[in-house]
Amino acid sequence: MTRSPGARLDRGAVATVTVLSVAFALFFVLPFAGLVDRAVADGDVWRVLRSSEARAALRLSLLTSTATVALTLVLGTPVAYLLARARFPGRSIVDALIDLPIVLPPTVAGVALLTAFGRRGLVGEPIEEWTGLTFAFRTTAVVMAQLLVAAPFYVRAAKAGFEAIDPEVERIAYTLGASRTRTFFQITVPQAWPALGAGIVLCWARAMGELGATLIFAGNLEGQTRTMPLAIISAFEGSALGVAGAIALSLVLLAVALAVLVAFRLVTHRAGRR
C-alpha cells in the first residue's frame, strides 16, 4: 500500500519540527552544560568560592535582595491592591509607569536614578545640603537600583492576584463587622497568596541578577556595592578572582536561578490546583 503525498508531507513536517526543536533546546542547554563542565574540571573553582571576595559578593547580594523584597512588600502591596480595586484619574499612567522599568534597559534605569538621587540629582542634591546624606555609590544605592528594576515584577503578580478575587467576598466581610484591615490580611491576602508568592520569587530573582542599574548608580566597590553579577564582571576585567572566579560565581547564580525556578513552579502549580 503506497502512502499518500499528504502522509509523506506530514512526516517531513514532523521531522523538521523535531530537528528544529532539538537544535533550539541544545542552544539553551549547551552553555549551561559548558559552565558546569568547566567548573567540575577546574579545581580552582571550588577554592575561589571560599575566597573572601566571593563570600563578600554573595553575602551582599543576599542581603540587598532580601532588603529589596521586604521594601517591595511594604511599598508595592498597597499599590497593587489600589490598582486592582480603585478607579481614579491617572490610574492608567501609574500602571504604565510601574511597567516601564520592566521594558527599560537597566543602564537607563541607573542613569535615571543618578540624575534623581545622585549628589547633583534632582532630589539628591537638596537632601545632601539639608541632611548631609548621600545615596549614590553606597550599599543603599544597590537596594534602590534593585528596587526600581525588580519591584514591578511583584506588583504585576500581586495586582493579578487581587483582581482574581471577587470583590463581593470583601463586601460580605465588611457587612459582618470586619474592618478593612482585618479583611485584607485575613481574607484577601490568603486568597491572593499564590500570586503574591510568585511575585516575591520573581522580584527576589530579578534583584539577585541586577547589574546595569547597580553598576551606574552604586558603582563596583568591593564589600560595599559589588554584588555577584558585578563580581563576575570584575573577574573578567582582571580582579583577583580571575576567570575561575567568574565561573564559580556564575555557577552559584545558576544554582540560585534553578532554585528560584523550582520555587516559582511550585507556587504557580499550587495556585492552579486551587
The pLDDT value recorded for residue 145 is 94
Closest residue by Cα to residue 76 from 168, 170, 146: 146
The pLDDT value recorded for residue 69 is 95
The pLDDT value recorded for residue 73 is 95
Domain boundaries, the chain: 1-41, 45-273
Are 142 and 180 spatial neighbours (Cβ–Cβ below 8 Å)?
Answer: no
Pick the CATH number of 45-273 from 1.10.357.10, 3.40.605.10, 1.10.274.10, 1.10.3720.10: 1.10.3720.10
Residue pointed to by grid coordinates 543618578: 114
Show the low-confidence residues of the chain (pLDDT under 70): 1-12, 39-46, 49, 239-241, 267-274
The pLDDT value recorded for residue 3 is 55
The pLDDT value recorded for residue 1 is 47
The pLDDT value recorded for residue 111 is 92
User: pTM (2 decimals)?
Assistant: 0.83
Burial of 155 (0-12, 13-18, 19+ CB in 10 A): buried
Helix or strand (DSSP H, E) at 239: none
Note the pLDDT tens digit of each residue in 79-111.
Answer: 999 898 888 787 888 888 888 888 888 899 999
